[in-house]
Amino acid sequence: MSSPEQWKAVDQYVVDLLLPPDAALQAALDDSTAAGLPSINVSPPQGKMLQLLARACGAKRILEIGTLGGYSTIWLARALKPGGHLITLEIDLHHAEIARRNLARAGMADRVEVRVGRAADLLDAMQGFVDPFDFIFIDADKASSDVYFKAIMALSHPGTVVIVDNVVRDGKVADAKSEDEDIKGIRRMTEWLATQPTISATAIQTVGGKSYDGFLMAIIGT
């Protein structure tokens, strides 16, 4: 059996070899901690994976739901093609302010817009007013996962890549009787996806420095 210590050691091995030290990313984490933000950002290997996926689809327009201190935002913004734009949604003004500072230090302020409000409201307000996104990362309150996935359909085009974080939660997603609102939201989203013939999706379980969780990946079709 593997152990959390082993997961951590493997993450460290990957970081040491494949993720060169990066002052802006480290400062974003340090300042987020100093400002009292919870350490619920994606891990460094996960951040880089998001970046590589966004690069692989040649993303010029990226949407993120759930900014926190902007750690995943920096990884994703750096994937943008020249002239590209990223919009990230955050309910907590304090989180947004820390994120804006972290993004500015990373040199990303000119291509990232942090919008503050309830994601469901901000997504509704965008419909019809923005060009579709090429890559979307959903990582806010898990109880609303289904609401967010349905809302982004009007902000997507055929080929849009969607990643949803935290879809496994220590394996609890497999418990149909769970009363946990987060689990119920993730299950509603996954069950809705199963009814959508134009969306192709899968989910992958992950372990790492932090926990046992997982990503869902989907591609929007025609």
C-alpha to C-alpha distances, 145 to 56, 74, 93, 125, 186, nearest whole angstrom: 24, 22, 21, 18, 6
Please state, in angstroms and rounded to a whole number, the distance separating the CA atoms of residues 221 and 199: 5
**Between 71 and 135, CB nearer to ligand DHB:** 71
Least Å distance, CB 40 to ligand DHB, is: 4
Judged by CB under 6 A, the stretch of 83-91, 101-109, 169-177, 201-209 that binds ligand SAH is: 83-91
**Which residue carries 């769970």 as its tokens?**
178
Q: Is 41 in the site for ligand SAH (CB under 6 A)?
A: yes
Please state, in angstroms and rounded to a whole number, the distance separating the CA atoms of residues 120 and 5: 38
Binding mask 81-120 for ligand DHB (x = CB under 6 A): ----------------------------------------
Residues ≥6 apart with Cβ < 8 Å to 198: 220, 221, 222
Please state, in angstroms and rounded to a whole number, the distance separating the CA atoms of residues 118 and 142: 13
Closest-by-Cβ residue to ligand DHB is: 40
Q: Is 145 in the site for ligand SAH (CB under 6 A)?
A: no
Contact residues toward ligand SAH (CB under 6 A) are 40-42, 66-68, 71-72, 89-92, 95, 118-119, 139-141
By CB under 6 A, name the binding residues for ligand DHB: 40, 139, 165-166
